[in-house]
């Protein structure tokens, strides 16, 4: 009797990993076509793969300048990869399903739950509707504001194109820009360091993209519900604290540095300090030369990049909530308290264990890749650590190493961007064996700590 072949059942984490990998490969193939190049030349596949990975993982690290290397076709491919990668390919697939009036299956809801980092499937489709609506609305408003400002420099048509393109890039915390063709290759927004409108709109986009759609929905519906969830309170408090502390550190350390803040007027100094603080948390654009910053500032940026954005957002890193839980554990231990309490709520032990696991996995990954690259790349360890952390946090900031990476270095950084976008835990669940329920528990033991 013939047995039918066993059907392979993929878990939601495995589907996410495979889905992102396929999108990256498709994007890389399109970017190698002559039509994608500004000069009609074939882009080396490794460079195309690196660019597609960076765009899909909404990072912003580039080995070739986007504005001068790619044609209109190539730039559109990149911005589509950013939109798909930022909102998630399952969100985009759900948008198509909505348009076709197709029902969302249970399996698809499970994948959406994993993609949006939600604890349950309850209201997941409703959340996806909000994600799509909020994203398109915010990007449209920002595009109009950008276009209005840049029309004075670029002309109406080009300004509108740049407005739409950069609104998508910044909201999705990607950090890609086209200003290489305007102010010189790899210049980012340095020409607008003291421009109030450009800074405010860009900062607003980055923050909104980084706090997460659940928080955004909570804030918008606050007038109706008259309350915020614990998650939203933690995210908003941690985000505000990190932005203010980061800006203060940048302002103090770089105030007298003539190559960064020192050459700007007082308003420019404040704007640049806040912009660098915000963008370090996974956005990737910059208004001052990061390679010229003092080492103390650069190291502090590494810490901010490692923390990253918030769960369910377009950003990476270990996330603000993870950082807050660990800080809460430290404070509780110092004060001799048994429970971690945030906003009058006690956190479960599973939250603490997950936060600890996340940070340790991320730290091990960053340290290991930094050690490996320090043997293959002829640059300082701080520069390499900055690059690796930027890739893991899907930030996209660089001190100038990206363009000098060896072939091996490009592959390692691309893998870090991939791991950072999906998250170490999602990758571990996808690659690891299926968890089985334990039938028994070992007796509790005690070891000395500290």
SS3 for 173-224, per residue?
CCCCCCCHHHHCCCCCCHHHCCCHHHHHHHHHHHHHHHHCHHHHHHHHCHHH
Give percent above pLDDT 90 in the chain.
51
Of 152 and 448, which is predicted with more confidence? Answer: 152
The CB density around residue 302, as the number of other CB atoms within 10 Å, is: 20
From CA 253, how far away is CA 247, in angstroms rounded? 10
Element (H, E) at 345: strand 345-346
Cβ-contact 303, 275 below 8 angstroms: no
Dihedral sign, Cα of residue 120, residue 121, residue 123, residue 129? positive
Ramachandran sector of residue 443 (left: φ over 0; alpha: ψ -120 to 50; beta: rest): beta
Averaged pLDDT, 15-25: 86
From CA 348, how far away is CA 352, in angstroms rounded? 7
Task: Give the pTM.
Answer: 0.88
Residue 70 phi/psi, 5-degree rounding, is: -105, 145
Q: Which residue blocks in 57-195 are alpha helix, DSSP H? A: 66-69, 72-87, 89-99, 106-115, 124-154, 156-171, 180-183
**What was the pLDDT predicted at 134?**
87
Digit-coded pLDDT (tens) for 35-89 = 999 988 889 999 999 999 999 988 889 999 999 999 999 999 999 999 988 877 5
Digit-coded pLDDT (tens) for 82-111 = 998 887 756 666 666 666 566 766 666 666
From CA 252, how far away is CA 254, in angstroms rounded? 6
Question: 257 vs 58, 194, 202, 304, 383, CA distance in Å?
Answer: 31, 16, 24, 21, 19
Which range, of 200-204, 218-222, 443-447, averages the lowest pLDDT? Answer: 443-447
Element (H, E) at 242: helix 230-254
SS3 281: coil
The answer to whether residue 442 scores a pLDDT higher than 80 is: no
Cβ-contact 139, 168 below 8 angstroms: yes
Digit-coded pLDDT (tens) for 186-204 = 888 989 988 999 999 999 9
Digit-coded pLDDT (tens) for 222-260 = 888 788 888 899 999 999 999 999 999 999 999 999 999
Cα–Cα nearest to 242, from 286, 281, 192, 299:
281
Q: What's the mean per-residue pLDDT of the chain?
A: 86
Digit-coded pLDDT (tens) for 384-415 = 999 999 999 989 899 989 999 999 999 999 99
**What was the pLDDT predicted at 435?**
57
Radius of gyration of the chain (CA): 22
Q: Which pair of structure tokens corresponds to residue 236?
A: 């908003």
Cβ-contact 92, 68 below 8 angstroms: no
């Amino acid at each position: 009797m013939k047995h039918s072949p066993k059907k392979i059942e993929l878990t939601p984490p495995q589907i996410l990993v495979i889905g992102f990998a396929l999108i990256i490969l498709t994007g890389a193939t399109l970017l190698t076509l002559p039509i994608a190049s500004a000069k009609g030349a074939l882009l080396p596949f490794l460079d195309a793969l690196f660019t597609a990975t960076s765009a899909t993982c909404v990072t912003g690290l580039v080995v070739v300048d986007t504005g001068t290397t790619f044609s209109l076709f190539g730039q559109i491919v990149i911005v589509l990869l950013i939109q798909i990668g930022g909102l998630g390919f399952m969100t985009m697939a759900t948008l198509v399903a909505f348009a076709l009036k197709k029902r969302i299956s249970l399996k698809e809801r499970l994948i959406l739950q994993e993609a949006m980092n939600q604890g349950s499937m309850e209201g997941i489709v409703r959340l996806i509707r909000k994600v799509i609506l909020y994203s398109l609305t915010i990007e449209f408003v920002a595009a109009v504001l950008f276009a209005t400002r840049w029309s004075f420099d670029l002309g109406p048509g080009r300004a509108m194109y740049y407005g739409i393109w950069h609104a998508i890039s910044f909201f999705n915390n990607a950090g890609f820009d086209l200003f290489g063709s305007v102010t010189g290759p790899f210049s980012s927004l340095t020409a607008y360091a003291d421009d109030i409108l450009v800074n405010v709109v860009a900062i607003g986009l980055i923050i909104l993209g980084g706090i997460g759609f659940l928080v955004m929905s909570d804030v918008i519906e606050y007038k109706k519900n008259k309350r915020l969830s614990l998650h939203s309170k933690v995210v908003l408090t941690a985000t505000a604290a990190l932005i203010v502390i980061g800006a203060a550190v940048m302002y103090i350390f770089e105030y007298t540095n003539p190559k960064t803040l020192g050459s700007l007027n007082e308003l420019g100094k404040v704007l640049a300090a806040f912009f660098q603080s915000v963008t370090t948390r996974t956005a990737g654009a910059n208004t001052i030369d990061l390679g010229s910053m003092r080492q103390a500032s650069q190291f502090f940026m590494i810490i901010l990049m490692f923390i990253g954005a918030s769960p369910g957002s377009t950003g990476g890193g270990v996330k603000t909530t993870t950082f807050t839980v660990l800080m809460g554990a430290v404070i509780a231990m110092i004060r001799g308290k048994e429970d971690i309490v945030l906003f009058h709520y006690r956190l479960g032990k599973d939250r603490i264990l997950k936060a600890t696991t996340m940070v340790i996995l991320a730290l091990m990954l960053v340290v290991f890749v930094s050690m490996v690259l320090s043997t293959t790349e002829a640059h300082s360890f701080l520069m390499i650590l900055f690059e690796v952390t930027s890739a893991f946090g899907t930030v996209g900031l660089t001190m100038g190493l990206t363009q000098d990476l060896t072939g091996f270095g490009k592959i390692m950084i691309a893998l870090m961007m991939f791991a950072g976008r999906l998250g170490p835990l999602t990758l571990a669940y996808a690659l690891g064996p299926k968890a089985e329920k334990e039938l028994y528990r070992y007796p509790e033991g005690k070891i000395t700590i500290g």
